Amino acid sequence: MTSIAVAGTPVDTRHFIGGSRVASDSTYTNTSPIDGSFLGEIARGGAHEIDLAVAAAKAAFPAWAATPPAERAAVLNRIADLVEENIEALSNIETLDNGGLIRSNRRGVMPRVAHNLRFFADWLVNHLGHPDFETRGHTNHISWDPSGVAALITPWNAPLMLATWKIAPALAAGDTVVLKPAEWTPLTASFFADLTKKAGLPDGVFNVVQGYGAEAGAALVAHPDLSRISFTGSVPTAKSIARAAAENLTPCSFELGGKSPCIVLEDADLDLAVTLAIEQYDNAGQVCLSGTRLLVHESIAEAFTAAFTAKAATLVQGDPRDAATDIGPQVHLKHLDRIKGFVDRASASGQNIVMGGTPNEELGGAYFRPTLVLEPTPGNEIVTAEVFGPVLTLQTFRTDAELIALANGTEFGLAAVVVSGDRAHADRITSQLVAGTIWVNCFFVRDLRAPFGGSKKSGTGREGGTWSFDFYADVKNTVVAPTGWADDK
């Protein structure tokens, strides 16, 4: 079987290498988290398929690198056109594969996929650049040259959105790409590969190798012919990639986990604070940026908790294909077990679970009830480790100093949400937070012109706008002396 029908749309289950479909000797089984149903057998790649894909990308590199920026941008825009024509199919495939809400995929996620492509095409042609400047009469000219083969490794929580957040700048920069999608959610990447071909992207410029566990990913990051590795995923995997990359000194970009604070100051509007806190359950809590630690001023903690639990009780959990659903399943039964493990250990250690705390077995799939842990014991793993599920903790604070110590008191530094009615107070807090992105009185507003990334263990580097090109390209300065030209004489 080389292709499966997902929500009526055929999706190839083989790798995409050098513009052709390539099978493997073995496969692995892909199921839907909605109800555990069988989706298909996926080609299971390893070192052999990675060698083929890197060789294809390496062979395609000189011609793609030499393609004028405007032409590279035109191909990206054609891929974006095809994504827009296929929003319904892509949304259905993604929802069946990772359990994300169909309404979010249709309205937000898939349009954003197209936007990722258009944005970096436009940035390449219209915004990338730095004015020349002089040093003692010498001209400095900065350029962003294609660097080679970029290895992209992506997670399952927003599969195609996060993949195109890497694919678009890498291709725009003139690199060629080998993508290794997460094993639980390979389908939209495969469908997307066909769109790149239809859009006229030359064979070998974009390749996809599927794999199970570390097999394909580990072979990819150890490959000596890479110019870049861009990885979004967990801290332990990043450490192992960094070790492999060290052998070839391959530059890495890491977008990793978080345990971000959602801070409610004493001057906050309570309704807004509750609305934003509830949003931290988005995508069933499987969002790296989630403010999973609610930090609430003690003067309003009681009122906040009452309003929060009342609002959480109205959330509809169920089939993500239903437009009325607010919280769908976790990505996989194994991930559900991991979340359950965290909550069970919290419970066994005496933590106060005031809401949820168990799988929602009535629904039949990988569903976990939205959960709240009140005043966890400092240092307990429920408040230090990334659960990556619909599990929030709530801690109170009295002074700003106490708040800052709590907010910055984890190994992560990805994001923060601050809710406040006093601009000066909010400013004082945000200036002291360690985080790559801070939202004040809002959540998830994300502009690709802005830098994105994590501090501390949440990642290395920043992407977005020119920051992305700084990573994928070889940035070069050419210094030209004012004299020495034939026409000087």
Least spacing, CB of residue 242 vs ligand NAD, in Å:
10
Closer residue to ligand NAD, CB minimum distance, 15 or 297: 15
Selected range binding ligand NAD among 74-82, 124-132, 178-186, 314-322, rule: CB under 6 A: 178-186
Task: Please identify, among the stretches 19-27, 88-96, 251-259, 366-374, the one whose residues bind ligand NAD according to the rule CB under 6 A.
Answer: 251-259
Residue 447, both tokens: 């502009």
Nearest to 27 by CA among 9, 14, 11, 18: 14
Residue of closest CB approach to ligand NAD: 217
What is the radius of gyration, based on Cα positions, of the chain? 24
Q: By CB under 6 A, is residue 240 in contact with ligand NAD? A: yes
Does 232 help bind ligand NAD (rule: CB under 6 A)? yes
Interaction between residue 148 and ligand NAD (CB under 6 A): no
Interaction between residue 50 and ligand NAD (CB under 6 A): no
> Is 347 in contact with 353 (CB distance < 8 Å)?
yes
Structure tokens at 442: 């809002």
Structural element, H or E, at residue 160: helix 159-172
Catalytic residue among 255, 262, 386, 463: 255
Catalytic hit among 215, 288, 386, 463: 288
Nearest distance in Å: CB 268, ligand NAD: 26
Tokens at 474, concatenated: 């070889």
The residues, any chain, with a CB within 8 Å of residue 373's CB and separated by 6 or more, are 343, 346, 351, 352, 353, 354, 382, 383, 391, 392, 393, 394
- By beta-carbon proximity to ligand NAD, the closer residue of 182 and 404 is 182
Residues 330, 386, 390, 419: which binds ligand NAD (CB under 6 A)? 386
- 252 flagged as catalytic: no
For residue 212, the minimal CB distance to ligand NAD (Å) is: 8
Q: Does position 159 bind ligand NAD by CB under 6 A?
A: no
Which residue from 52, 189, 288, 434 is in contact with ligand NAD, where contact means CB under 6 A?
Answer: 288
With contact defined as beta carbons under 8 Å apart, do 7 and 40 qualify? no
Neighbours of 376 (CB within 10 A): 21
Q: Which residue among 159, 186, 204, 257 contacts ligand NAD (CB under 6 A)?
A: 257
Q: How far is the CB of 322 from ligand NAD (least distance, A)?
A: 25
3-state class (DSSP) for residue 369: coil
DSSP 234-295: -HHHHHHHHHHHHHHT--EEEE-----EEEE-TTS-HHHHHHHHHGGGGGGG--TT---EEE
Options 12, 49, 175, 255; binder of ligand NAD; rule CB under 6 A: 255
Task: Decide if residue 210 touches ligand NAD (CB under 6 A).
Answer: no
- Binding residues for ligand NAD, how many (CB under 6 A)? 29
User: What is the dihedral sign for C-alpha 47, 38, 106, 2?
Assistant: positive
**CB-facing half-sphere around the CA of 287: CA atoms within 13 A:** 21
* C-alpha dihedral sign at 68, 73, 74, 79: positive
For residue 230, give Cα distances in angstroms to 11, 172, 251, 350. Answer: 25, 15, 9, 40
Decide whether 230 or 305 has the Cβ nearer to ligand NAD.
230
Instruction: Figure out which of the listed residues 221, 262, 276, 336 binds ligand NAD, where binding follows CB under 6 A.
Output: 221
Task: Look at residues 269, 286, 377 and name the one whose alpha carbon lies nearest to residue 329.
Answer: 286
Confirm whether 255 is a catalytic residue: yes
Q: Does residue 358 belong to the site contacting ligand NAD (CB under 6 A)? A: no
Q: Which of 156, 191, 206, 308 binds ligand NAD (CB under 6 A)?
A: 156
Give the end-to-end CA distance of the chain in Å, rounded to a whole number: 72
- Provide the pairing of β-strand 293-297 with 261-264: parallel
Asked if 157 touches ligand NAD (CB under 6 A), the answer is yes
Closest approach, Cβ 229 to ligand NAD, in A, equals 9
Interacting residue ranges for ligand NAD, rule: CB under 6 A: 153-157, 162, 180, 182-183, 214, 217-218, 221, 232-234, 237, 240-241, 255-258, 288, 386, 388, 414, 454, 459
Q: Which residues are catalytic?
A: 255, 288
